[in-house]
Amino acid sequence: MLPRNTFALGGAASGKSEWAEDLVNSCGLPKTYFATGRIWDDEVQERVNKHQSRRDAGWHTVECPLDLAEPLAKLPAGEIVLIDCATMWLSNHLMEGSDLDAAQAALLAALRDCAAHWVIVSNEVGQGIVPDNAMARQFREAQGRLNIALAAEAETVVQVVVGLPQLLKGELP
């Protein structure tokens, strides 16, 4: 049985997005993809193209680099949304100078109120070295707090390592 909500995290290029896409594809529900990334350069465009090429015509895509609350509120029960990814969403808020605590609180409230199933992908950024600049340290701390909060909200938490899901909480479908 599909969990009501799932949090998938892992390192960069760990296979977390592919795992989450497979989970969503396997459930048989109408599916929406919330794209949080912004295209800053050719490298990011290439990554976006790679992600897009994996999704078939059955996906409805919504670009939402900052506001996830409004589109989450519009989703009906009986559907599923993949939010990819919380890391880019947080980065966008940091670059905009947003109040990160307020943005996180709004996201968590919207996830709690969302009628649809949700899967959210995020990067694990706390296992490396301490960054050498203040903004990177602020981001790492904020991402760690966000990941802890998302894990608390989710029924199922999976860490994807080398493409393999490692169950941390709940049950895999």
DSSP β-bridge partners for residue 5: 118
Angle of the 100-113 helix axis to the 86-96 helix axis, nearest 10: 140
- Which residue shows structure tokens 């009986």? 78
117 given a catalytic annotation: no
Catalytic option among 51, 60, 93, 117? 51
Other CB atoms within a 10 A radius of the CB of residue 78 amount to: 10
| Alpha-carbon gap, residue 41 to 136, rounded angstroms | 20
Catalytic residues: 51
